[in-house]
Amino acid sequence: MTRGISLIGSTGSIGTQTLEVVRECPDRYRVVALAARSSWELLARQALEHRPDLVALSDPTHYAALKEALAGTEVRVAAGEEAVYEVAAHPEASMVLSSFVGMAGMVPTLKALEAGKWVALANKEALVVGGELVTAAARKAETTLLPVDSEHSAIFQCLQGQVRAERIILTASGGPFRHLERSALEQVTAAQALKHPTWSMGAKITIDSATMMNKGFEVLEAHYLFAMSLAEVDVWVHPQSVIHSMVEFVDGSVLAQMGPPDMRTPIQYALFYPERRGPAWSRLTLEHCRQLSFEPPRREDFPCLDLAYEAGRQGGTMPAVLNAVNEVAVERFLKNEIGFLDIPRAIEAAMQAHTLKDGPSVSDLLAADAWARTFAAGVRASAVNLPR
């Protein structure tokens, strides 16, 4: 039976790979709605291929151009936040892939869950910032929240048919600066940080991987997705990116999910759960497994990981501050306005300055987000001479 699917963030890395999966499996999914931020030309090409009922741009700047590009088709064009929410709750969609990067994905994710959709979640910030609200919305609607991140997909797969885990072990590649001395980290450039050793991802998540903030976010994701305490979620560096994560049980047994670093595999698993379907986008061979190594993360040199743990322990609006300052700081680093280590410095300063609010509503989280963005925009670079 063909099911309708909506994609929020269809022009990003996860969105385009999801459409690859859908393209190979036309018997299962029909694309009914697509949403993007501002990449109207790619969105237009996707719409011409898949002929959804609705396409939406959250940034209305290019609304007229998109509408003109789709003139003569039956595709309805809309723009603005409400239009994205309409994509999330499209009546013909039974599955919604949520992959907007950053805070922008939280409310659309909530809208999809409130509408009773199954949600394949690739927007980690929805859980980082609003984990309690998101998981509560899924429970209230009695619907399913499926992880798309390779690490959380691995954990989810390991838990099938099992009792509650005793410990989750998230694996991290270590990023491009795994062996770099602390002093050298002061001078790394955005171009260097964007050269991830194993994964091909968007710019923001690639920088987050380099700082290990991405792994910090994944700790908070795992905390909410699998109802584990922060103390039960551990992180180890695994440079080969073959073991995507592990689960330890009360008898000491450890289950691991392994595979080549290809995001289409966890995307496909989420879209077809509980089935396993082909094609096999890539296969693990023994050649991949000749050397599998693990090492503890260098927490002092990459403090973003512990800042995420601390934000999770404080809870309330603190994870929203963590996320917002990180978003702005990463953007400023990419523009060469601040240095690499200014990212964790800005986050720590904001967390110290923030007045925490417990049990926040969506409006409280949005207010904390706005405060943190203003704070981060005013942070000065600590390096005297930034790399050019």
Band of pLDDT at residue 289, cut at 50, 70 and 90: confident
pLDDT of residue 383: 58
Q: pLDDT at residue 318 above 70? A: yes
**Quick one: average pLDDT of 298-313?**
97
Q: Walk me through the domains of the chain, giving residue ranges and CATH numbers.
A: 3-147 (3.40.50.720)
Share of the chain above pLDDT 90, in %: 83
Q: How far apart are CA 52 and CA 47, in angstroms?
A: 6
Distance CA 130, CA 14 (A): 21
pLDDT tens, position by position, 211-259: 999 999 999 999 999 999 999 999 999 999 899 999 999 999 999 999 9
| Predicted local distance difference test score (pLDDT) of residue 386 | 54
38-97 tens-digit pLDDT: 999 999 999 999 999 999 999 999 999 999 999 999 999 999 999 999 999 999 999 999
Rg, C-alpha atoms of the chain: 20
Question: Across all residues in the chain, what is the average pLDDT?
Answer: 94
Q: Report the pLDDT value the prediction gives residue 267, as an integer from 0 to 100.
A: 96
Is the pLDDT at 387 greater than 70? The verdict is no
Q: Determine the pLDDT at residue 288.
A: 73
- pLDDT for 388: 42
pLDDT in tens, 260-286: 888 999 999 999 999 998 888 888 888
In the 8-state DSSP scheme, what is residue 231? G
User: Which parts of the chain fold into alpha helices (H)?
Assistant: 13-24, 40-50, 63-69, 81-88, 106-114, 124-141, 150-159, 182-185, 190-193, 203-211, 213-225, 264-272, 304-314, 318-334, 342-353, 362-377
Q: In terms of residues, how long is the chain?
A: 388
Q: Which pTM value belongs to this model? A: 0.92
Q: What pLDDT digit, counting tens, does each position of 24-34 carry?
A: 988 899 999 99
